[in-house]
């Protein structure tokens, strides 16, 4: 684990939720954010508008037992993405994980019908890392993001997510067809940066396809 942020997760997560709502990534209460600090997991609740999140709305969970250490006073449950966030923390030693319902993330899974999204020769590829703690990619590298099939609930995505992590050890993101994307990083800053870079590249690929251009050139 890398060093703690200067801002505590109860402050950061609502701030990020408000930002991602304005970007259209977490509308309709969709999406989720989780940050790990040592043995404590901070996670957004299910069914709460991200633009209205407050520090008191967050759940605090034990990293090892997954038991709830602190819950909001509202009658809500931890994000349905929580089991998937735990995969990122345990299997990829992530410090933060972000799940968005970005339209760009959804659309690339439709125009790339295969098991991966790929793009190359784009400057923003340099904002993506080769694995959670790995170096940054070069703009001439080919970025590969696995795509898994959607399921009725987020919990049902667990098998597909863990298989994709195993098959693509260098990825820091997994797309879910007709759904959105999961992105993780060593810190919340790196997870946020990569989420922005991935979304930028998804949008570029969509526009290139619309213009009859090849994102692989």
Consecutive 10-residue runs of the chain (217 residues): their mean pLDDT? 67 97 96 97 95 95 96 92 96 98 98 97 98 97 98 93 97 98 97 98 97 92
- Taken in order 37, 40, 41, 43, the sign of the CA dihedral is negative
Residues 6+ apart with CB under 8 A from 94: 36, 88, 132, 184, 185, 186, 191
Burial class (CB in 10 A: 0-12, 13-18, 19+), 56: exposed
CATH class of 9-210: alpha beta
81 annotated to bind ligand: yes
- Was 99 annotated as part of a binding site? yes
What pLDDT does 5 receive? 52
pLDDT score recorded for residue 2: 47
Q: How far apart are CA 132 and CA 168, in angstroms?
A: 12
- Taking the CA atoms of residue 169, residue 35, residue 192 and residue 107 in that order, the dihedral angle to the nearest 10 degrees is 70
Give the pLDDT confidence score for residue 74 in this predicted structure. Answer: 85
- The catalytic site residues sit at 123
pTM: 0.95
């Amino acid at each position: 684990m890398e060093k703690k942020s200067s801002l505590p997760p109860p402050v950061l997560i609502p701030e990020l939720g408000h930002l991602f709502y304005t970007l259209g990534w977490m509308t309709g209460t969709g999406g989720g954010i989780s940050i790990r600090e040592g043995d404590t997991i901070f996670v957004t609740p299910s069914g709460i508008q991200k633009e209205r999140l407050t520090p008191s709305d967050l759940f605090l969970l034990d990293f090892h037992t997954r038991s709830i250490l602190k819950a909001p006073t509202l009658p809500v449950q931890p994000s349905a993405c929580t089991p998937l966030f735990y995969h990122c923390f345990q299997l990829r030693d992530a410090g933060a994980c972000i799940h968005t319902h970005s339209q760009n993330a959804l659309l690339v899974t439709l125009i790339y019908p295969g098991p991966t999204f790929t793009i190359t020769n784009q400057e923003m590829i340099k904002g993506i890392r080769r694995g959670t703690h790995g170096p940054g990619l070069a703009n001439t590298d080919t970025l590969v993001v696995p795509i898994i099939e959607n399921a009725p609930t987020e919990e049902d995505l667990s098998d597909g997510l863990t298989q994709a992590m195993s098959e693509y050890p260098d990825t820091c993101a997994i797309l879910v067809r007709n759904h959105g994307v999961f992105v993780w990083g060593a810190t919340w800053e790196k997870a946020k940066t990569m989420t922005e870079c991935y979304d930028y590249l998804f949008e570029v690929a969509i526009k290139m396809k619309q213009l009859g251009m090849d994102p692989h050139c």
